């Protein structure tokens, strides 16, 4: 087996497709060098037009082989501000600067274990390629897909193909169970006899999952989302309070030291309520 190339690249990408699904846009990009370096949990940083200096970090949702272009990356974008609105407005063929894949990926279990994957909103994007890899390792995969409403539920149909069991949770009860991840997580972990829990979503959700995992005696990994001005480890703008292996608290970078952290290493209270 040949060694996969390592490290991120900074390239000019091209929009191959842009499709709206519910509240999100699925953006397919040609970004030479990125697909072969991808591992589930990594992300890309995008430039979003003149005058906007900060990058926009986006989870890589999947790698797709595409005839004539080599492999492409698919991102899930929720237009929430001028940068993301610029992104979803890009026509097919538009060019943009892409840096990636960035960040530490999800850590894979060495053995076949029972895994629960929890994704809320567009952050669930990084869990689908993870589910595939886990199934290749013969891990039992249980998915929890959550969102504010049906429009903010990512790929719930696909989830049913990727996992042994799927729980759908919406804030308004429009589909699946009514409530939040925190309301269902204990039950899901118990039913799955989870040994490893992976979670991506807002900090409050990650905190709830990490706490439930701790109680259930499972390892948890959480993918943190912080605004990342550079996303490459240069600026120290995306600080995350953690407790190190040595028991000492410190601030680390979500982009480079994360975005995936062990759930029991993050100082959630400091993260959610900065002084």
Partner 1 sequence: MSVVLAVDLAGLTLPNPVLVASGCGGTGRELAGFGAFDGLGGFVTRSITVGARPGGDAPRIVETPSGLVNAVGMQNPGIDHFLATELPWLAQRQVPVFVSIVGRSLGEYAELARRLGRSPGVAGIEVNLSAPDAPGTQVFDVREPFHAASVVAAVSRDLPRGMPILAKIRSDVVRVVESARTVLDAGAGAVVVGNALPASMPDGRPGGLSGPAIRPLVLRCVTEVHAEVPEAQIVASGGIVDAHDVRAFLGAGATAVQVGTALLHDPITATRLVAELGEDR
Residues in contact with partner 1 by CB under 8 A are 7-10, 47, 51-55, 83, 97, 99, 226-227, 229-230, 232-239, 250-251, 256, 274-275
Rg, the chain, Cα only? 18
Our CB check for partner 1 shows the closer of 51 and 247 to be 51
Minimum separation from the CB atom of position 249 to partner 1 (A): 8
Residues 6+ apart with CB under 8 A from 234: none
Our CB check for partner 1 shows the closer of 143 and 252 to be 252
Minimum separation from the CB atom of position 180 to partner 1 (A): 23
Minimum separation from the CB atom of position 89 to partner 1 (A): 18
Minimum separation from the CB atom of position 241 to partner 1 (A): 9
How would you list the strands of the sheet with 260-262, edge to edge? 177-178, 165-170, 140-147, 114-120, 196-200, 219-223, 260-262
Our CB check for partner 1 shows the closer of 46 and 115 to be 46
Nearest Cα neighbor of 189 from 170, 167, 213 is 213
Our CB check for partner 1 shows the closer of 171 and 237 to be 237
Our CB check for partner 1 shows the closer of 22 and 233 to be 233
Give CA–CA dist 107/270, Å, rounded: 24
Give CA–CA dist 98/14, Å, rounded: 9
Nearest Cα neighbor of 73 from 17, 22, 24, 21 is 17
Element (H, E) at 206: helix 203-216
Minimum separation from the CB atom of position 256 to partner 1 (A): 7
């Amino acid at each position: 087996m040949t060694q996969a190339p390592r490290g991120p690249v900074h390239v000019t990408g091209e929009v191959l497709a842009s499709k709206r699904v519910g509240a999100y846009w699925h953006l397919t990009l040609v970004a030479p060098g990125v697909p072969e370096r991808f591992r589930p949990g990594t992300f890309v940083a995008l430039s979003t037009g003149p005058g906007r200096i900060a990058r926009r970090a986006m989870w890589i949702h999947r790698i797709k082989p595409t005839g004539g272009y080599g492999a492409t990356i698919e991102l899930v974008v929720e237009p929430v501000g001028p940068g993301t609105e610029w992104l979803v407005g890009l026509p097919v063929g538009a060019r943009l600067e892409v840096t990636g894949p960035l960040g530490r990926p999800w850590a894979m279990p060495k053995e076949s274990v029972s895994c629960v994957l929890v994704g809320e909103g567009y952050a669930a994007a990084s869990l689908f390629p993870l589910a595939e890899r886990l199934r290749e390792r013969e891990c039992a995969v249980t998915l929890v897909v959550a969102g504010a409403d049906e429009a903010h539920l990512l790929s719930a149909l696909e989830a049913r193909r990727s996992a042994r069991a799927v729980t759908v949770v919406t804030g308004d009860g429009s589909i699946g169970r009514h409530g939040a991840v925190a309301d269902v997580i204990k039950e899901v972990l118990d039913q799955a006899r989870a040994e490893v829990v992976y979670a991506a979503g807002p900090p409050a959700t990650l905190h709830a999952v990490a706490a439930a995992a701790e109680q259930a005696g499972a390892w948890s990994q959480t993918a943190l989302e912080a605004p990342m001005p550079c996303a490459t480890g240069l600026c120290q703008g995306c600080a995350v309070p953690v407790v190190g292996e040595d028991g000492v608290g410190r601030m680390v970078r979500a982009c480079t030291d994360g975005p995936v952290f062990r759930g029991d290493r993050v100082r959630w209270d400091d993260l959610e309520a900065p002084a």
